[in-house]
Amino acid sequence: MIHKTVREHEDDDHLCERKTVFHKSPRFLFISLTVFALSRKLCNICWRRAQAECILLGKNTHDNESKSKYREDRGYMSLKGWLGRKRALAMLGKRPITGSIQPISDRLDENIAMLQTIFTLTPDLIIRTFESNFAEGRVALVYLSGLVDKNSINNNMLRPLLNPTSNADTSIVDLLSVGAISNAYDMETVEAEILQGSSVLLIEGRTEACVVETHGWPQRAVEDPQMEASLKGAHQGFVETDIQNIALIRRYLPNRELKIKQLRVGERGKTKLSIMYMEDIASPDVLKEMEDRIKLLSIDAVINTGELAELIEDNPFSPFPQLVTTERPDSVASHLLQGRIAVVVDRSPSVLVGPATFASFFQTVDDYSTRWPVATFIRLLRYMAFLVATFLPECISRSCHVCLFFSNR
């Protein structure tokens, strides 16, 4: 409660009394709402932790083995240099994967019926069956029309397969003129590959499917970044395709020490994340911490980079950003050369960089394209502007209160 004391002088007996006047200002409303939101958030966290503890410990809460196992499953990990705090509590009670793995049948009709059952109400699913000299029986080509490159399917797959000169002795790797070809042995893998934009070949009499990479979903061209415009830097920004974003970073760092680890996050969305780092510069402890935090996530899907940053940061209640988000490949390359780690999120036009320091948010790409005296002076101006914007309004408010207090005496 914000209040101030006003001393009023009475004309008759010159007695002084104090009255409390409450400020009905926006600042009072803001503080009240903030306290209410934090208390509600704290109650929700306590309730989730108590619920998870009951699930893990069960009824036998006095068993020492159960308690030690619970402490181990909580997954607290410390990292030196990562803001000096303990990591956030990993989400407990991950949903188990139910159901058994359905193998691919040697009968083509059963496989097609299974796919039609999986992809119900999916009008963009294409299943084309045809006879080919490559196989002894029929062949089915399955793909989603909006996620594939139709020119690649027509020219590099259907034309060789329908060629009368092809025979069963020819390997499919030698027959198809496409980049990546792999095998799948269960329907779960076939479903995942079709949803990712690949084409699947099902052959009569074979218990394996041929997965061909024919990605061709709609995407935009590389453009000038809108939020981080530069006068002297490059005019290229990230797009919504992770392969193109990795290629843009590789152009700045064509070095064999640039390593990439790919992970899948999400029970439903299966978002692909690429962890990029310089093997001879980045700290192994920081890399392991970043990788462990991502693996412990239990979520339906990661939609964008900002959502991922909120899930893996140290303090979710802090109003300050703890990880750098950028849409410039040259900025990511600069951070990688400083030993940081970049996370490329598929379907997001920005890249996450960490760990970050306070000074990281006052740097721009143009600082490295300007002479050091000018760049240093501009950076000092940014620090001064931050201090002025932070403390000047409160100083003015306090000064007004003091002036009002002495004016009423």
Q: For the range 260-268, what are the long-range contacts, defined as Cβ-Cβ under 8 Å and sequence gap of 24 or more?
A: 261/291, 263/291, 263/294, 263/295, 265/294, 265/297, 265/299, 265/301, 265/302, 265/308, 266/299, 266/300, 266/301, 266/302, 267/95, 267/298, 267/299, 267/300, 267/301, 268/300, 268/301
Q: What rounded mean pLDDT belongs to the chain?
A: 78
pLDDT tops 90 at residue 252: yes
Confidence of residue 30 (pLDDT cuts 50, 70, 90): low
Mean pLDDT score, 168-173: 69
Q: How far is residue 80 CA from its own chain's centroid?
A: 23
50-64 tens-digit pLDDT: 444 444 334 333 444
CB 329 within 8 A of CB 230: no
pLDDT tops 80 at residue 220: yes
For residue 289, how many C-alpha atoms fall within 13 Å in the half-sphere facing its CB? 24
Mean pLDDT score, 318-334: 90
Predicted local distance difference test score (pLDDT) of residue 14: 42
Cα-based angle 78, 316, 290 (whole degrees, multiple of 5):
40
Question: 10 Å Cβ neighbour count for 175?
Answer: 16
Mean pLDDT score, 341-357: 93
Predicted local distance difference test score (pLDDT) of residue 90: 37
pLDDT tops 80 at residue 83: no
Bridge pairing between strands 324-326 and 351-354:
antiparallel
Please tell me the least confidently modeled range out of 94-108, 131-145, 260-274, 316-330. 94-108
Cα–Cα distance, 271 to 293 (Å, whole number):
15
For residue 70, how many C-alpha atoms fall within 13 Å in the half-sphere facing its CB? 18
Cα–Cα distance, 118 to 187 (Å, whole number):
9
Predicted local distance difference test score (pLDDT) of residue 177: 81
Mean pLDDT score, 136-156: 90
What is the percentage of the chain residues whose pLDDT exceeds 70? 74
Which residues, listed in sequence order, are joined to residue 129 by a DSSP beta bridge? 140
Predicted local distance difference test score (pLDDT) of residue 32: 66
Please tell me the total number of residues recorded for the chain in this structure.
Answer: 409
Mean pLDDT score, 92-120: 77
The alpha-helical segments, DSSP class H, found in 58-141 are 64-74, 108-118
Predicted local distance difference test score (pLDDT) of residue 59: 38
Confidence of residue 242 (pLDDT cuts 50, 70, 90): very high
Q: To which H or E segment does residue 20 belong?
A: strand 16-22
Mean pLDDT score, 114-118: 93
Residue holding tokens 């690649």?
152
Taking alpha carbons only, the member of 250, 237, 222, 233 closest to residue 364 is 233
pLDDT tops 60 at residue 187: yes
| Cα distance between the two ends of the chain | 24
Mean pLDDT score, 126-147: 88
pLDDT tops 80 at residue 380: yes
Please tell me the least confidently modeled range out of 81-85, 150-154, 284-288. 81-85
Confidence of residue 405 (pLDDT cuts 50, 70, 90): confident
Residue holding tokens 């196989």?
135
Predicted local distance difference test score (pLDDT) of residue 47: 52
Structure tokens at 316: 């979710």
204-215 tens-digit pLDDT: 989 999 999 998
Taking alpha carbons only, the member of 339, 324, 360 closest to residue 285 is 339
Which phi-psi region, left, alpha or beta, contains residue 364 (left: φ > 0; alpha: ψ -120 to 50)?
beta
Confidence of residue 180 (pLDDT cuts 50, 70, 90): confident
